[in-house]
Amino acid sequence: MTKHTQPAWIVAAALAAALLLTGCWSCRWDLESVDYTPNPNGDWPVSTPEAEGLDPDAVARIYAEAAGLDTIYSLLIIKNGRLVAEDYFNGSGSWDACILASVTKSITGALTGIALEQGYIEGLDQPMLDYFPELAGQVSDPRKFDITIRHLLQMRAGYPWEESDPTLFQILFHDGFHTTDLVRFPLIRDPGTDHDYSNLSSHLLGIIVSRATGRDLLDYANEVLFHPIGAEAADWQMGWENYRLGFANIELTARDVARFGQLYMDGGLYEGEQIVPAQWVTDSLATYSTDAWDYRIGRNVRDMGYGYQWWSLRSGVHVYNMAWGHGGQQIMLVHDLNMIVVVTADPFISRSDGDTWRHERNNINLVADFIARLPAE
C-alpha cells in the first residue's frame, strides 16, 4: 500500500465524501491513500494482503472506516499466520496495553481448560459448590447444587444477565462481585436448560481456577498461557476479595491479543508446543446455545451462538467465532479464511448506556461488514 502523509481523519472524511458523491468505495485513487502497513519490529511475521490472497481494496476500506470511529484504539488483520494490516487510532499505539472488557472471558475459559488438563480440576461436570464449601450451608435454592463447571462455561447455569435488573446492575458495575453472590443471585431457570449471558458465571470460573491451582490468576495466566506465546498481561483488576475479575479487565497490547487469537486459530499449538489442549479449543469454539443474543447489532451479525466463553456468528457466507468485549472489542476467528481480526477499543469502564452501545455497535459492524464483503475461498 502507498503510504499517505495526511492525518487519518482527513483521509476518512475524503473517502466518506467520495462515497456520498459517487457511491464508489473501490475507486483505487481513494483507497491507495490509506496506509495500514504493519510495523516490522520482528515480533510477528508480516506480509501483505495481496501475498496472502486478501483483497487490498477491502482492507483499505475497513481502515478508512475505522479512522472515522471515535472510540477504536487498534485494528489488526492476520492472514495465514502473518500480520498483513495494522493501525492505531485516537491516541493509541502499538505498545499501549488496553483494558479488555469481556474479551477476558475467553482468556478465563482458556485457563479453565489448562487447569483441567493439569489435573487441578476434576472434571467439567464437577459441581460448582465443591469449590465454595464455606457457602454450602447458606444455599437455599437446591438447584444451585446442580450447577457444574460446564454450565458456567456455557453460561447455562441459570444466573441472569446482570443488566436485566437494576440491583444486579449495581453489583456488576459499582459494588463488585463477592463469592456470596453465588448464593444471593437468583436463578431465573433450571441449570442446563438455556443460555443467559452472565458475568457472575465467568467470575466464578476465575475463582475456581484460582482456588484449584492455589495461584493468583494473573500469575497463572502469564506462566501457563501468555509467556509461552511471547505475550505478557500487564495487569488484571482485582476484586474485593483478592480474586481477579474472571469476566473482565485484563490488560494486553493489541498484538498480544492477536497472539491469543492465533493460538486458538492454531488449535492451541505454538511453535510445536501445545499451550491449550487441542480438544479444549475445539470444544470451546463449538456452539451449545443458538439464538444466544436477542438484541439487534447490525445487518451482518447473524445466528449468534455460544460455546465455552466464545461466541459464534455468521456474516455473509462466513461462520466464525468471536471473543467480544464491551465497547466493541473483538477477536474474530474466521476459520474458512484462516484470518483473525482484532479490535481494541474504549471499554467504557462502569458504563452501559445508549451512547456506549452506539459506539459498540459501530465497532462490531465495522468488522462484521468487512467479513461479509469477503468471498469464500
- pLDDT tens by residue, the chain, 377 residues: 333 344 454 555 555 554 544 445 444 547 788 999 998 887 889 999 999 999 999 999 999 999 999 999 999 999 999 999 999 999 999 999 999 999 999 999 999 999 999 999 999 999 999 999 999 899 999 999 999 999 999 999 999 999 889 999 999 888 999 999 999 999 999 999 999 999 999 999 999 999 999 999 999 999 999 999 999 999 999 998 999 999 999 999 999 999 999 999 999 999 999 999 999 999 999 999 998 987 889 889 999 999 999 999 999 999 999 999 999 999 999 999 999 999 999 999 988 889 999 999 999 999 999 999 999 98
The C-alpha atoms of residue 166 and residue 89 are separated, in whole angstroms, by: 34
The C-alpha atoms of residue 26 and residue 77 are separated, in whole angstroms, by: 19
Displacement of CA 41 from its chain's centroid (Å) = 25
Contact criterion met (CB below 8 Å) for 156 and 192: yes
Q: Which of left, alpha, beta for 340 (phi over 0: left; psi -120 to 50: alpha)?
A: beta
For the whole prediction, is pTM greater than 0.85?
A: yes
The C-alpha atoms of residue 47 and residue 40 are separated, in whole angstroms, by: 9
- Show the CA angle centred on residue 206, arms to residues 200 and 210, nearest 5°: 145
End-to-end CA distance of the chain: 23
The C-alpha atoms of residue 261 and residue 256 are separated, in whole angstroms, by: 9
The C-alpha atoms of residue 148 and residue 56 are separated, in whole angstroms, by: 47
Q: In the 8-state DSSP scheme, what is residue 75?
A: E
Q: Look at residue 154 in the predicted model and tell me its pLDDT.
A: 98
Helices and strands of the chain, counted as H and E runs: 12, 12
Q: In the 8-state DSSP scheme, what is residue 325?
A: E
The C-alpha atoms of residue 135 and residue 181 are separated, in whole angstroms, by: 10
Displacement of CA 308 from its chain's centroid (Å) = 12
The C-alpha atoms of residue 78 and residue 49 are separated, in whole angstroms, by: 9
The C-alpha atoms of residue 355 and residue 326 are separated, in whole angstroms, by: 12
List the beta bridge partners of residue 313: 320
**Chain segment 185-228, per-residue pLDDT in tens:** 999 999 999 999 999 999 999 999 999 999 999 999 999 999 99
User: Which structural domains are found in the chain, ordered by start?
Assistant: 8-100+249-373 (3.40.710.10), 103-227 (3.40.710.10)
- Radius of gyration of the chain measured on its C-alpha atoms: 21
Cell triple for 141? 435454592
Q: Look at residue 15 in the predicted model and tell me its pLDDT.
A: 55
Cell numbers 484460582: residue:
210
Within 10 Å of residue 279's Cβ, how many Cβ atoms? 12
Q: Look at residue 295 in the predicted model and tell me its pLDDT.
A: 81
Which amino acid belongs to residue 225? L
Contact criterion met (CB below 8 Å) for 92 and 74: yes
Contact criterion met (CB below 8 Å) for 11 and 34: yes
